[in-house]
Structure formats: structure tokens, C-alpha cells
Amino acid sequence: MITVTGSGSITTCDGVTRRDFLQVGTLGALGFSLSKLASLKALGAVKKGNDEKSCIMIFNLGAPSQLDTFDMKPDAPREIRGPFNPIRTAGGGFQISEILPLHAKVADKFSLVRSCYHTAAAVHDTGHQMMQTGRLFTGGINTPHAGCALEFLKGRKTELPAHVILPEPMGPTGGNLPHGQDAGFLGKSIDPFVLNGDPSKAEFKVPDLLPPREIGEARLKRRRELRQVVDETVRHFESSPSAQLMDSNFADAYRLMTSEKAREAFDLGKEPQKVRERYGMTRFGQCCLLARRLVEAGVRFVTINTFITVFDEITWDIHGSKPFTSIAGMRDIVAPMYDQGYSALIEDLVQRGLLDNTLVCNLAEFGRTPKINPAGGRDHWPQCWTVYFAGGGVKGGRVVGKSDDIGAYPVERPVKPSEVVATIYHSLGLELDTHLPGPAGRPFPLVDFGTQPIRELF
């Protein structure tokens, strides 16, 4: 982020001028723009009610094996069923893997969809696009993340950002394609607020929420270098018709920068140590806790990336050989971390009375091959996998859809990525026939014509 300053014509009660506040990158992260403000005023296609509902999207980058987690096939040959045994779950609605014992205890709160599939290329990036935006990017059109569409349609609840990504955006996953974690054609001003930090670290902080006077001396040099350029730019801007609109909304944007509530929402030090330990002192566990704090404080949508890349770290991407993960690595490292963080989140949301108004969806870009490969792992398989949902009106303890005897293809109620995203919109109270202002100003449907949510979940 670049910070610029100058002697502007508007001064706040703290003595900070408008030019002090014009921080390149920060305004975009806060979702503040003139075009957005005008669009929000003109838009009226949002369902009445349900305005308090939020969403926590846990994206399991790398893609868990359905056969080793939520869709086990204990009667299949060993090279298909894998090394793990199924266990019973709370409520008895279904069985899951023994590597997720804490999930089993809260299984009456979530429901599985065991028949998700797509027909695009079996690379991570295509699945990331479809599962977060509802579409595969084609013709140079990047469609917006569900959280960005929600922000555009509903705005913020409070001075906090409407959509936050934790702990940082997706990184390289091999396809060198966009992942679908930004606002796409809606523009940079609707991009999510990105944390870019590990909340499990003692030094964790959110510098972009500090007011300008606290930024520090280290950036003074850049301020001086840019002063002349910015002064000229702002002079032109202040004489334009847009300046009056900015003046009327400047206070709202500035409140986020200086808001004690916003800083406290990101401050995990406010949590009892026992609560932090219940989530797990891991990056994922503390992201789950931070997500709970954010939705409790008024953030509409939080996206948690379980992992950032599939290379050179232990992830769900269990090809079996380096730089990827083995099935044993999933069992010993990935599953315990994930199991602890998710179960703590669900229990905490229930105890605080937040689950009914918070949809928690656990997604992935595809599944894994039914047969274990020669390296002792499983490869990419978009033909069938499991996702699951809790809260936000979803009934727990259910199974939607069914795969065949080896977990390779759906045989009942096949579910496309667009239906998954439509389910998120439905829970959040958006009208599915809404149109967004698309490329070249043309109306762009929120979901493809005829796409429906997974109504069996509700």
C-alpha cells in the first residue's frame, strides 16, 4: 500500500486531511468507490429480510479425498476404500472417516452433498473459479466471487468490510489461471478486504486498519516523493462533479480506518486463551476464530482458504509424492488441524446463537481418484466429490445425493458448482433472478437461467 498526503481542503476532527486519507490500495480494500456508491443507489433487486445473515466459506484448497473423509466405501477393494474406517456421527444420519472424530460430534449441525461434479479440466484453478463464482471464466470475462456479489448488492452492515479473505488469497496451484477470489467485472472497488497475515502468530496485526497518523515514520519518504503528483491530481478532482459525492461519503470510509470496533474485531487478543486453544493454535484454527469474530461484528462474508498453495506444504492435494502430500500426511497433519478448527467454529457459533444466521459452507475444487495411485496417493477427480453446509437455514444431519459404489460418479441428485453458489445466495436472501452490471454495462445474471439452490438442505 502506498500512502500519500498533502494540505487538503477538508480536515477531520482529528486534524487529518482528506489527502492524508487517500491511500492507494486501502480505499480499494475498503470497497470505497464512486461507481459503487452510484450503483448501490440505483440497484433494487435484493430480497427483503434475511439482511442479518452472513456466510463463512471454508475453501479446502487442494481438494480432500471424498473416499477418505465424507463418502467412504468400506465394502470396496482396499485400493479404492483406502486405509481408514468409517465412524458413526451425532444424530446417526451418516458415517464419516475416523480421521475426523470432532466432525462426528457436530454432524447433527451440518449436511453433506455427496454428488458434486463438474466437466471442466481437472486443474485446481477451474474448480476454484466455478465453486466461488458459479461459472468457468470464458471469453475474457471474470465473474465475481459470491462474497463480492453480495457486497455489491447489499453493501456493508457496519463500518467493517462486507467481505474479508483469510489468511490471504489463493496462490499458485499449477494452472496459472485466476482463482475467482476477486470482484471480476464488478471492478477493483468491490474486491474483498485481504488480511495477508497469519493470525496464529504473536506479531499478527492488521496495518491497513490503522488511522493515517499511526502509519509511522517509515513511509514519510514515499509521502514526500508523491506529494507533488498527488497535489496536482487532487486539485483536478476537487474541481470535478464527483468531488461532492466523495465529500458526502468520505466520513463513512474514514470511520473504518479509525474505528475501534473494526480494530477490535481483528484482535484475537480479546479472546480467552482457552477459546483460542480450542480452535487450535494453527493458521487455520485461528482463521476460524477470527471469522467468528468478524461475522459477530457485522462482516457479511468471510472466505477462509484452508491452504494457500498446493506446492511444498502439507495440504489436501494428496498425490502421494513430493512436492505434494501423502495420505499419511493428510491423516497426521491436515485432518487434525482441520477437524479441530471446524468443530470449534460450529460449537462456538451455536453457543453464541449465531449459527442460524451464519451459513458455513465447506467447498473444494474437485475430488480425488477412486483408485490409489502407485505413489500411494490419489489424483485429481472432478467427476464426483463432497461439499457440506451448516447454519444459515440449512438442516443438519442430512445427506443430499449419492455416488456409485466406488465414489467415482453421482448416481443420485448430481449437483453442479453453479447450484452450490446459488445455495449460498439463497441462504443469504438474494433473488436468483437478479442481474449485475456486467462487461460493457450489459446486464449479467447473478446465476445462469434456471439454476436453483440445493433445496433439500433447507
From 226-235, 296-305, 425-434, the region with the lowest mean pLDDT? 226-235
> Do 233 and 128 share a structural domain?
no
Query: Does pLDDT of 359 surpass 90?
Result: yes
Residue 38 lies in a domain: no
Report whether the peptide linkage leading into residue 167 is cis, meaning its omega lies within 30 degrees of zero.
yes
pLDDT-derived band at 223 (thresholds 50, 70, 90) equals low
> Do 298 and 382 share a structural domain?
yes
pLDDT for residue 447: 97
Question: Of the ranges 13-17, 221-225, 366-370, which is most confident?
Answer: 366-370
* Number of structural domains found in the chain: 2
pLDDT for residue 312: 84
> Do 228 and 185 share a structural domain?
no
Q: E-assigned strands of 333-425?
A: 358-363, 367-368, 380-381, 385-390, 399-400, 402-403, 410-412
Report whether the peptide linkage leading into residue 323 is cis, meaning its omega lies within 30 degrees of zero.
yes
pLDDT for residue 19: 46
324, 380 contact by CB (below 8 A): no
Strands 385-390 and 110-116: antiparallel
Residue 43 lies in a domain: no
pLDDT-derived band at 238 (thresholds 50, 70, 90) equals low
| Residue range(s) defining the domain that contains residue 255 | 1-30+215-262
pLDDT: which is higher, 60 or 47: 60
Averaged pLDDT of the chain? 85
Lookup result for grid cell 492435494: 317
Spell out the long-range contacts of 276-280 with Cβ–Cβ below 8 A and sequence spacing 24 or more. Answer: 278/340, 278/344, 278/348, 279/340, 279/341, 279/344, 279/345, 279/348, 280/337, 280/340, 280/341, 280/344
Q: Averaged over 335-341, what is the pLDDT?
A: 98
> Do 422 and 309 share a structural domain?
yes
- Strand, helix or coil for residue 39: helix
Half-sphere exposure of 32 (CA within 13 A, CB side): 23
From 75-79, 211-215, 221-225, 323-327, the region with the lowest mean pLDDT? 211-215
> Do 332 and 283 share a structural domain?
yes
pLDDT for residue 4: 29
Rounded CA separation 327/377 (Å) = 6
pLDDT for residue 228: 56
DSSP notation for 242-304: HHHHHHHHHHHHHHHHH-HHHHHHT-GGGS-HHHHHHH-SSHHHHHHHHHHHHHHHT-SEEEE
Half-sphere exposure of 337 (CA within 13 A, CB side): 19
Query: Does pLDDT of 243 surpass 60?
Result: no
Query: Does pLDDT of 230 surpass 80?
Result: no
Residue 40 lies in a domain: no
Last residue of a domain, one of 224, 247, 262: 262
pLDDT-derived band at 316 (thresholds 50, 70, 90) equals very high
> Do 185 and 250 share a structural domain?
no
317, 369 contact by CB (below 8 A): no
Residue 35 lies in a domain: no
- Per residue, the 3-state secondary structure of 99-142, as one string, reads CCHHHHHCCCCEEEEEEECCCCCCCHHHHHHHHHHCCCCECCEC
Query: Does pLDDT of 283 surpass 70?
Result: yes
> Do 315 and 287 share a structural domain?
yes
From 205-219, 383-397, 443-457, the region with the lowest mean pLDDT? 205-219
Half-sphere exposure of 96 (CA within 13 A, CB side): 33
pLDDT: which is higher, 342 or 25: 342
Last residue of a domain, one of 262, 277, 298: 262
Half-sphere exposure of 267 (CA within 13 A, CB side): 10
Q: Averaged over 114-123, what is the pLDDT?
A: 97
pLDDT tens figures, 138-191: 999 999 999 999 999 999 999 899 999 999 999 999 988 999 999 999 999 999
Query: Does pLDDT of 231 surpass 80?
Result: no
Residues 6 or more apart in contact with residue 422 via CB below 8 angstroms: 134, 432, 447, 451, 452, 453, 454
Q: Determine what percent of the chain is predicted with pLDDT higher than 90.
A: 71
pLDDT tens figures, 63-118: 999 999 999 999 999 999 999 999 999 988 899 999 999 999 999 999 999 999 99
pLDDT tens figures, 250-259: 554 555 666 7
pLDDT for residue 27: 42
pLDDT: which is higher, 172 or 33: 172
> Do 60 and 16 share a structural domain?
no
295, 166 contact by CB (below 8 A): no
> Do 239 and 104 share a structural domain?
no
Query: Does pLDDT of 131 surpass 70?
Result: yes
pLDDT for residue 322: 87
Query: Does pLDDT of 18 surpass 50?
Result: no
> Do 58 and 93 share a structural domain?
yes
CATH number, domain containing residue 416: 3.40.720.10
